[in-house]
Chain A
């Protein structure tokens, strides 16, 4: 299994794009009239959130692929996508909290649907790893994790819709149909940051896939050399351990 393909161009692209995005954020994008400098955390917070949610949905898509094909590689892809999205989601909650404190005066605002629905999604996906960990049989673990990732992936848009119906206008709608309230300079910066974050996600995803599959292959080579007795038994893990 060659997961490492395209790693170098993706690494270079994400390094360039993320650097460009931060340069634009600090030197090019104008300060906001109301919020001043602090609003610029939005160029980190919003791309993180969008990429994390897309990563969750991608995990569900690979879950569907796994159920259709039964290939362990798809289970690994789904697992790594959700794993990295979960890490990004922690970043989203932290940056969102900082932004909320700076611009609304509170660390957490309950009447804010976007914030609350993100927290719900995060809580749901936080159960993904415990679920995998509590199933011992690797085949069943992969199958149940795929079912979970599909249900949860479909839950993401539904949940946002339900929570958003509570109609709050505090949170800025940056990607509304009218284009929001962004000026051209802000939009350029925002889309660069979004592209950078997406590239970074794909790069990290590929690195993690390559690393996981390398250690799985290494183990099977060791087994061929030393036999089953020469290997320490596998510790129970929430990550897929076979390909």
Chain B
């Protein structure tokens, strides 16, 4: 526990001083919303189109966070330092997943209101608690898979290429679940009830991948 909080505090302090991940994710999201505005040539989106644009953007922004997640450890020898410390290796996984989750939340705190302001049809999207629930479950899935893939990809030669190639197919169930669950919330005629089974799919996905990552993460650190 102490190791987890130490790594989390280290990463958050690094982010607060160097601004490497969150601003990049945020700028990317807002720029992509503008791109979608011109690409689709639409002033306002509603329903499944709005949900799709939001989730594709957030997922691609999350990839930026994954790319950076282990970069400092890899470049500055942080892995060796961590392996020398007498702590459980799973602590690094838990800490990094927490950090990625925190980065996602921080970016979304501005990106989602920006999306509502720039692209969402006025009148759509008045179901904030439901949207927060979907965001939290999807972020947890992205954080778990992103940490695993980030650790896998950081040791390869083409890091910036391998991480998205591996992460995006793995995250397709998340985007299906999140987009399907968000679409009724963004209905043009006002929010419709949240489809519970998609939340269940997201929760199941999170649970399965958390267990899986817990089982295999140690092998990514062994040296």
Contact = CB atoms under 8 A, between A and B. Distances in A.
Contacts of B173: 158-159, 162-163
B152 A144 contact: yes
B48 to A, nearest CB: 12
A131 B212 CA distance: 19
A216 interface: no
Nearest to B159: A134
A127 B177 contact: no
Interface stretch (B18-26, B109-117, B162-170): B162-170
A131 B162 contact: yes
Given A131-B156, A135-B156, A165 B162 contact: no
A124 B169 CA distance: 5
B219 A136 contact: no
Interface string A32-68: 0000000000000000000000000000000000010
Contacts of B6: none
B157 interface: yes
Residue in B166, B197, B220, B222 with the greatest tally of chain A CB atoms within 10 Å: B166
Contact of B219 (A67, A121, A123, A162): A67
Contact of A162 (B158, B166, B201): B201
Interface in A162-203: 162-163, 165-166
B216 A162 contact: no
B5 interface: no
Interface string B196-223: 0100010011001100110110011011
Contacts of B166: 124, 127, 131, 148
A159 B177 CA distance: 11
Nearest to B204: A158
Interface string A133-154: 0111000100110111011101
Nearest to B157: A134
A23 to B, nearest CB: 39
Interface residues of B, number: 30
B172 interface: yes
Contacts of A154: 208, 212
Nearest to B197: A165
B162 A162 contact: no
A134 B158 contact: yes
Contacts of B177: 162
A155 B170 contact: yes
A231 B58 CA distance: 51
B155 interface: yes
Given A124-B170, A151-B148, A136 B157 contact: yes
Nearest to B168: A123
Contact of A158 (B152, B157, B205): B205
B176 interface: yes
B200 to A, nearest CB: 10
B94 to A, nearest CB: 17
B158 A143 contact: no
Contacts of B215: 150
A120 B169 contact: yes
Contacts of B212: 150-151, 154
A25 to B, nearest CB: 33
A111 to B, nearest CB: 13
**By CB atoms of chain A within 10 A, which of B152, B172, B212, B220 has the most?**
B172
A151 B216 contact: yes
A145 B41 CA distance: 43
A154 to B, nearest CB: 5
Contact of B152 (A147, A155, A161): A147
A150 to B, nearest CB: 6
B168 to A, nearest CB: 8
| Most chain B CB neighbours (cut-off 10 Å) among A135, A147, A150, A152 | A147
Given A131-B162, A134-B162, A162 B205 contact: yes
A163 B216 contact: no
A130 B162 contact: yes
Contacts of A166: 176, 180
5 contacts: A67-B219, A121-B169, A131-B162, A144-B152, A162-B176
Q: Nearest 7 CB-CB pairs, A to B?
A: A124-B169, A162-B173, A134-B156, A134-B157, A123-B169, A127-B165, A147-B216
